[in-house]
Structure 1
Amino acid sequence: MNYRQIEIFSAVMKAGTVSRAAELIGLTQPAVSRAIAELERAVGFSLFDRVRNRIIPTPEGKLFYADIERSFLGMDTLRAAAARIRDQGSGQLRIGSLSALGSSLVPRAVKRFRVVHPDIRVTLMVLPSRDVRDGVASGEFDIGLAADEIDVTGVLHQSFVTPRVLCAMPQGHPLAAKEVIGPHDLDGVDFVAYVPEDRARQRLDLIFNEAGVAPNIVVETIYAATVCALVAEGVGVGLVSPYAIAGADPTRLVLRPFEPVVQSKSLLILPLDRPKSQLVRDFIDCLMAAR
């Protein structure tokens, strides 16, 4: 018994005659008759009674056909499932993001994505960049956004956004009267900084050293949103990506350009050994549009 014989038997049952079935599947009548006879020998019972040049399904043939129909229905379900997996992957999207983008740009991208894929479950984890990188490398995340200080070994990566950082200060701060903030303005000023391994922190330290100035670092943190919150509480002044201020209370912050220009660089990272599903491709498009 083989699939072709089953297919021919099903065609005869649907068509009602051998000649009609032969036309439908593009075979000769003798070929159809031979296939039915071979199938009957394989299953060990008659599928049709031959009465006055007509074929009539036997009770056994009808039972066998009912099972075949159920099998075909199962195959259709499997084909639909395969198509869904091919087009959409697992039916969910897992995203890891650094803080600076996780409260602004990424939510905008998720909103766009949901318009196109309303039935796809999205998981968004806002984590330190090194944890985002590890999650992508291990397959925990389908896509990640991380600062450029991560180890990119074991992941695919490309530059994503490089916004110019802004100087954030509390409302009423003396520096709020200035249009542009420079390193000498921050000499001795209470300052909320990123941790020393942060690349943006390292660029700033170099600028401060070259200018011969030293802000008074009162807090170090890894999250841009935490910098904004501390600044809003009046703890000190900080330098933040414009993407990081999306969730901050604008009535409690003053933002000014900082010179010389310092850019906060982030990377789009993907698993190294996994082809991009259509869901991932679509979300990347949404990320690009949200920049």
Structure 2
Amino acid sequence: MRLPNLRQLHTFRILMQTQNVTEAARQLNVTQPAVSKTIASLEDSLGARLFRRIRGRLYPSGDATRLLIEIERLFVQLEALNDGMEGLRSSQDGKIAISAIPALASSIVATSLARFARERPHIRTLLMSENSGNMLTQIGLHQVDLGFMYNHPGPEKSLSAELVAELEVVGVLHRNHPLASEPVLTPQILDGHAVILWEQNTPPSQLVREAFLREGLVPRDQFETNNSFAAKSMAAQGIGVALIDPTVMLGDTRTDLVIRRFRPLVPLRIFCIQSIYRPASQLSQRFLEDFVQAMRGFADTLRLDID
């Protein structure tokens, strides 16, 4: 059996991902016949049929599925080799790809990445704003280097989760709101007042609701959202108190909003997620170090702002 070359394996990998010869050809920047010829050559090398076309659709065989698993392992090693070679160069060069949940991607991660890139004008960056499920998938497929999310993702053999910072849920409200003069907001103080919460299926929202329930109270949750920036905008209209993460206030110089502590404390733990099969490049590791320092500074500023 002739050993397949990397071009054949790469073409096969793209075709398995797209399940479409036309799209595979577009991504590879070749013609459709070239894709078909490469796959036929690979099948000839392996002595196995990898795809069947039924009613115009392409279906991979069982051999193709098993082969893909081995090829993914190979490409992980190749990507790790490439990262290692990049790491031999200065961390002033290279590319870093990051995925984060929207609240973090739009605030502290974006700010940190911009500052990091400003000091390294030759690097290329990619920042994806994704829900936690999509983010974990991107890391597992090695589409990004680092991921950032609130709360531990749970047991996952192929991923590592490192606690890099801890914040807390805060109350954000209009300066003319009846409770704006309260230094600390509690379920008892908020009882009867409209609150703006994350949607119920999110862990932070569940913890906030549990804080009310422990006092025998139910939050007047007239308003729910899956976006902290939307909650802040609603609070700015004076319709309620937003119980959200404080990162949305980063760089906000508006004077119509105030931020208040919420007690009992509801922690927001930020985890950095990485693939255990792809060691962090020197560039990624340097960014993570800078991000941890930025989070410490932000936490200190937050304490000063609301004390």
Q: Which bracket does the TM-score occupy, shorter chain normalised?
A: 0.5 to 0.7
> Structure 2: how far apart are the matches of 1:148 and 1:84?
31
Name the amino acid aligned to 1:209. Answer: L
> Structure 2: how far apart are the matches of 1:258 and 1:98?
23
Deviations 1:162-182 (A, max 9, x none): 112211112211011212111
- Which residue in 1 is equivalent to 2:114? 111
Normalising to structure 1: TM-score of the pair? Answer: 0.66
Q: 2:125 aligns with which of 111, 119, 122?
A: 122
Q: 2:192 aligns with which of 188, 196, 200?
A: 188
Moved more, 240-249 or 172-181: 240-249
Deviation at 1:207, TM superposition (A): 0.9
> Structure 1: how far apart are the matches of 2:174 and 2:206?
24
Name the amino acid aligned to 1:92. Answer: K
Change (3 A) 1:247 1:216: farther
Normalising to structure 2: TM-score of the pair? Answer: 0.62
> Structure 2: how far apart are the matches of 1:116 and 1:245?
24
Q: 1:96 aligns with which of 92, 95, 99?
A: 99
Deviation at 1:149, TM superposition (A): 5.3
User: What CA RMSD, in Å, does the superposition of the two structures yield over aligned residues?
Assistant: 2.4
Name the amino acid aligned to 1:94. Answer: A
1:56-67 pair list within 5 angstroms: none
1:203-282 pair list within 5 angstroms: 203-246=207-250, 248=252, 250-282=254-286
CA contact (8 A) 2:169 2:267 kept: yes
Q: Indicate the SS of the match to 1:265.
A: strand
Change (3 A) 1:184 1:281: same
Deviation at 1:223, TM superposition (A): 2.1
Change (3 A) 1:132 1:185: same
Name the amino acid aligned to 2:138. Answer: G
Name the amino acid aligned to 1:237. Answer: V
Change (3 A) 1:113 1:180: same
Name the amino acid aligned to 1:201. Answer: S
Deviations 1:105-129 (A, max 9, x none): 2133213422443211111122222
CA contact (8 A) 1:195 1:221 kept: yes
Long gaps (5+) in structure 2: 1-82, 296-307
Deviation at 1:88, TM superposition (A): 6.8
CA contact (8 A) 1:128 1:222 kept: no
Name the amino acid aligned to 2:125. Answer: V
Residue identity over aligned pairs, in percent, reads 26
> Structure 2: how far apart are the matches of 1:83 and 1:155?
23
> Structure 2: how far apart are the matches of 1:109 and 1:181?
30
- Which residue in 1 is equivalent to 2:146? 143
CA contact (8 A) 2:198 2:205 kept: yes
Q: 1:171 aligns with which of 169, 175, 183?
A: 175
CA contact (8 A) 2:173 2:180 kept: yes
Number of equivalences: 211
Name the amino acid aligned to 2:269. Answer: K
Change (3 A) 1:230 1:248: farther
Deviation at 1:101, TM superposition (A): 2.3
CA contact (8 A) 1:92 1:120 kept: yes
Deviation at 1:267, TM superposition (A): 0.7
- Structure number with bigger Rg: 1
> Structure 1: how far apart are the matches of 2:259 and 2:84?
51
> Structure 2: how far apart are the matches of 1:185 and 1:128?
32
Deviations 1:222-267 (A, max 9, x none): 2222221221123321112222212545322121111111111221
Long gaps (5+) in structure 1: 1-80
CA contact (8 A) 2:152 2:161 kept: no
> Structure 1: how far apart are the matches of 2:177 and 2:237?
12
CA contact (8 A) 2:197 2:244 kept: no
